[in-house]
Amino acid sequence: MQKIMVIGAGQMGSGIAQVCAQAGYSIVLNDLKTEFVERGLAVINKNLSRQVDKNKLTAEQRDEILARITPSTTLQDAEGVDLVIEAAVENMEIKTKIFAQLDEIAPKQTILASNTSSLPITEIAAATNRPEKVIGMHFMNPVPVMKLVEIIRGLATADEVYQTIEDITKKIGKVPVEVEDFPGFVANRILMPMINEAIYTLYEGVATKESIDEVMKLGMNHPMGPLTLADFIGLDTCLYIMETLYEGFGDPKYRPCPLLRKYVKAGWLGKKSGRGFYVYE
């Protein structure tokens, strides 16, 4: 494994590209438009420059890492890579379309991984003719800081493919945890219902948003309250994952709170839109 293509230069994709480049891999950072890729590269540069300021990297090391990243706006660039990590928008239709195209373009031995946070790997793999080479690599946000990667086997994922991805995960300084292919995996199956319950607590008038967040910070030692966290994740993403859980299990305990739906319909998506449960400048 020497060359990795990362699809999606947003917050997650740029973070994945950064940690892989820091570990010595050659990276192709792909997105739909040049400005998206440039924005991702600017974020990586900013992150690495911060490390230089803290004397954790030299300016030369930063430049070497950046030099390992090649910008791309066409999936055709998957022709020469050993691994693809897809970090596109959390939407099954978009992901299956990307994987079907990659299956046509990438060499037969290339492993195709998805950074999906909740969608079934088995279904994504079914869009290809190489389901044994499709796997989930769910990184946590922010990628350069968070240690965990959930590695999800699809129904057909080969053992040697799993082992290769586990080894790469360790090489880039992360901790791999093996997870079976169920909606939400482990992280979001536990986290999202907690966030949803916090929204219900607000919706039912049990306490103010500040009080709910304070209880979880001071009482449960969480670094940030669930409503603040929801704003950081994006309320549209929270809603999408809750709907995936609700649809996947058919259990009413996963029903998204009506207040969450209301905020998303209003365009109050959290920090990225300037307003969610809190207002951001």
| Helix count and strand count (H, E) for the chain | 12, 8
The b-or-e profile of 84-98 (16+ CB within 10 A means b, else e) is: bbbbbebeeeebbeb
Tokens, residue 41 = 């590269």
d(CA 67, CA 27): 9
> Is 117 assigned a catalytic role?
yes
| DSSP state at residue 154 | -
> Is 188 assigned a catalytic role?
yes
* Cβ 57 vs Cβ 30: under 8 Å: no
Spot the catalytic one: 30, 117, 118, 196: 117
Residues 6+ apart with CB under 8 A from 170: 176
Spot the catalytic one: 14, 118, 188, 196: 188
Spot the catalytic one: 14, 47, 138, 196: 138
> Is 14 assigned a catalytic role?
no
Q: Is 138 helix (H, G, I), strand (E, B) or coil?
A: strand
End-to-end CA distance of the chain: 43
d(CA 271, CA 281): 9
> Is 91 assigned a catalytic role?
no
| Active site amino acids | 117, 138, 150, 188
